[in-house]
Amino acid sequence: METDETPRVLPFQLQFDKPVASQIKIAEWNPEKDLLAMVTEDSKILLHRFNWQRLWTIFPGRCITSLCWRPDGKAIAVGLEDGTISLHDVENGKLLRSLKSHTVAVVSLNWEEDGQVIKDDSVNNSTYEDRTSRFFPPAPRVPRMPGLAPGDTGFMDDSDDSFRELSNSSYQRFNILCSGDKDGSICFSIFGIFPIGKINIHNLSIPTPYATEPATCRLSHASISKIALSKDLCHLIGMCSGELNHDEVESAERQLGVHGCHCLLLDTSIFWKRKNELHQVAQQASNIEDLIEVIRSSLSVMSKQWSDAMHTFREKFDSLSSLIIDHGLDSSPQEEFLSLLGGARTSPPVHQFLVNSLGESGVKRVSKVVCGAGKELQHVVLDHLQPAAEIIGFRMGELRGPSRWRTRFQGIGLDETLINNATEKSGILLVQVERFMRVLSSVVQQFSNFFNWLLKCIKLLNQEPSDQLLPYNSELVVIFLKFLYDQDPVKPFLELSEVDIEPDMETLQRVKELVHFGGFSDCDFLRRTLAEEFKQMESSFKEAFLMPFTTISRKMLCKDVLPLFALPSSSASVSVSVPISVTYYKDASTSVSSYQTHEHGFIDYISFQIPGDSSSNIANCIGISRRFMHSLSNSSIEESASLEAVLLSVPDGYHCVDLSLYKEGQIVLLLNETTSASECSGESCMMIVQADDLPFVSIPRSGCINTWNLDQLKDSVMHLRLENEKVRNIPHSVVAPLAVSGKNEEQTSAHVGFGSFH
């Protein structure tokens, strides 16, 4: 709104309306670019530029319940109704990774990176540099799966570089993706791909630090509404709806508990205190997970290719058994072939099979399929499987040293015994890969020799010259007919099977001596196949990396609870639908040195619309509190009441549709005009309020788990006036969501997106 006095820069500029086919239900601005991601009611994700140029549209096929950007703006996380979190590339929307961290709908996502900039290297002497690129070429990609669409396995197609960028965490700043679901679980993952912790708010023992005697309380029937991790990664504020009860209260008196919307303050300082160690472990673990997927896909590709080749072989050669039976003979195909090899007279079924059923072209076709599959398997091993196994071994070796540094790494759950076991399994996998290559090479050679012999036999039976054919070895033909004609030594290596390999006792004894001499513990790997070895290695990795997950989960405790407003008991288990916002801003009064020690580096702002039925005395108001996460930090009683709050009274004739905070403590309100005429949709407006100008009042804390009395703020309510604030009128009614972005702190304008209807 412009005044008649001095012209001023409008807080935002109305460009033009952009019609969309379906109503927008979620909208988030890219933190680094002028890109707006929107989710429609029919669960499509649209990416637009600021000028409304659409870049791409994707449809995950499931209901989308939450959305957030990676801090660098290069990837977007999407929460789905079935508990899945999918990561998509900003360039083309393709799937980068799919994680199943939850079992129910993911209702809130928040992705924060370490905002600390340390100039003194002595403070950051544990910074880790990934050395893998010094010794190895770029990691192999997932091989192409025949007949499988890109992304079906949760990974991208190998023709795209964006997947490599996602997994290349060595160039990323340390960041945490937090996700909350409607059953009260909050999950944490480093780089968005390595799970590092999980808590359930129902299992949290919540202290009441202001009580006269030590007491705790718990939440029941709770659902997450909003989560926000602080910029220093030390605290997480979670807004949830549920019933708050004292632990000492008997179950028969549970009705005395507070049904409403509450704020929980979780201590996540382990992420800040051990960020360098966690960065190293997460970097190695996430890259190992990528390489494990390469090996798994390689085995799948190899198994399919070899099975198809063997199917072609059986399809052609099984007809010989039927011909033998039709001629009334009791011999087997192997015996008939051996008779032919020994120079005896060719039996009628063999003659009919070679000349009529199989023929020269049939032999060549089967030979091309089988020998070609063998060569393809060798390429997959050399280009994908073996390099992946080698890099896995190196990365596990990089974790063996830290696992012995107990003072720094046992605190995050890096267990030396488990890491040593996983390292040993990765080494044995390499042995099995080399063993498989020898078996495969021998089998392919045997097949080739057998097919060359059959070609020469067919030439002789047809009285054709056979000088141009490759020579064959009769002894190898005998070995093939005795051992390989009915058996497939390659298949058991590629498929999980209950059949064990029985090595000779002399070899087994020699291996036992070498294993003990090398300090290992596994002497039975000769009995296992390649697929079984991979399964054991994968299991050992899961066990090793589960320890940091479990350890970190136990160290994230609840420090405080702040009841906001009451709700009807019937809606206590339902996620709050009123507009809410949790945001952190850097404290301008904090010096650089104190910021480096992460003390009071940021101020939290919690904004929420007070439901109309919560209190008639403060109807149509917006509550804002700040410094919740610092209310426990001060030692003196006078200073401990640092929690501040204020009530904003919405102008008469309007009601709040949505609210959001952006930049340094500025609040954007989306207001609709209240009208009773159903045929008239009314008008709306957007308003910006500076948080520093608000008359915040200190809120005393007590040990009673009741909603802090909003009525005590009645005398200090700030009445918003359209003529006094920064306002932009909109000629039609609007609906949530409201999305704001202010990347440049010196700008006085905000990029705003919202849903509308006429």
* Residue 38: closest CA among 16, 53, 23, 51: 23
Q: What pLDDT, on a 0 to 100 scale, did the predictor assign at position 636? A: 41
* Domain that includes residue 672, residue range: 577-590+600-634+642-732
Give alpha helix (H) positions in 318-415. 319-326, 333-341, 348-352, 359-380, 386-404, 406-409
Instruction: Identify whether residues 328 and 386 lie together within a single domain.
Output: yes
The pLDDT of residue 196 is 93
Angle at 48 between CA 47 and CA 51, to 5 degrees: 175
Same domain, 438 and 358: yes
Using DSSP's 3-state secondary structure scheme, residue 10 falls into: coil
> Please, what are the averages of pLDDT over each run of 10 residues along the chain (758 residues)?
46 63 86 89 89 86 92 92 92 88 92 66 54 86 61 41 52 86 92 92 75 68 87 89 70 55 89 90 90 92 93 91 86 89 82 88 93 94 94 92 88 91 91 92 94 89 74 87 89 75 65 64 75 92 94 90 74 58 71 43 83 66 83 48 81 86 79 68 82 82 56 76 81 82 48 52
Tell me the C-alpha distance between 333 and 72, whole Å. 66
625: its two tokens: 């509190």
Residue 444 and residue 410 share a domain: yes
Query: Residue 178: what pLDDT?
Result: 95
Task: Note the pLDDT of residue 495.
Answer: 80
Q: Which residues of 543-562 are buried (b: 16+ CB within 10 A; e: fewer)?
A: ebbebbbebbbebbbbbbbb
DSSP per residue, 488-550: -SSHHHHS--SPPP---HHHHHHHHHHHHHTT-----GGGS-HHHHHHHHHHHHHHHHHHHHH
Q: Let me know whether 376 and 503 are in one domain.
A: yes
Q: Are residues 329 and 440 in the same domain?
A: yes
Cα distance between residue 179 and residue 79, in whole Å:
8
737: its two tokens:
């969501």
Distance CA 285, CA 546 (A): 11
For residue 58, what are the β-bridge partners? 45
Q: What is the pTM of this model?
A: 0.83
CB atoms within 10 A of CB 441: 13
Two tokens at 733?
Answer: 């009614």
In a domain, 203, yes or no: no
Q: Looking at the structure, tell me whether residues 672 and 540 fall in a common domain.
A: no
Give the per-residue pLDDT at 501.
67
pLDDT of residue 133: 84
In a domain, 242, yes or no: no
What gap in Å lies between CA 390 and CA 381, rounded to an integer? Answer: 12
Q: Is residue 115 included in any domain, yes or no?
A: no
335/478 same-domain check: yes
- pLDDT on residue 364: 92
Shared domain check, 535 and 583: no
> Is residue 614 included in any domain, yes or no?
yes
Q: What does the alpha-carbon distance between residue 226 and residue 605 come to, in Å, rounded to a whole number?
A: 13
Q: What DSSP state is assigned to residue 621? A: E
* Total count of domains within the chain: 2
* Cα–Cα distance for residue pair 538/290, rounded to 1 Å: 12
pLDDT number for residue 597:
42
Q: Are 301 and 391 in a shared domain?
A: yes
Is 77 domain-assigned?
A: no
- Give CA–CA dist 225/240, Å, rounded: 5
In a domain, 118, yes or no: no
C-alpha distance from residue 404 to each of 129, 391, 396, 401, 440 (Å)? 18, 21, 13, 5, 39
Provide the 3-class DSSP secondary structure of residue 25: strand
Q: Is the separation of the CB atoms in 390 and 382 below 8 Å?
A: no
Same domain membership, residue 727 and residue 683: yes
Q: Are residues 534 and 581 in the same domain?
A: no
Q: Find out whether 260 and 707 touch, Cβ atoms under 8 Å.
A: yes
Residue 613 pLDDT: 60
Is residue 677 a part of any domain in this protein? yes
Is there a single domain that holds both residue 307 and residue 393? yes
Q: What is the distance in angstroms between the CA of the first residue and the CA of the last residue of the chain? A: 22
5 phi, psi to nearest 5 deg: -90, -120
User: Quick check: is 662 in a domain?
Assistant: yes
**Enclosing H/E stretch for 233:** none
Residue 746's pLDDT is what? 37
In DSSP terms, which residues pair with 714 in a beta bridge?
Answer: none
pLDDT digits (tens, 9 = 90+) for 7-43: 444 555 556 666 777 788 899 988 888 899 999 998 8
- For 297, the token pair is 């896909």
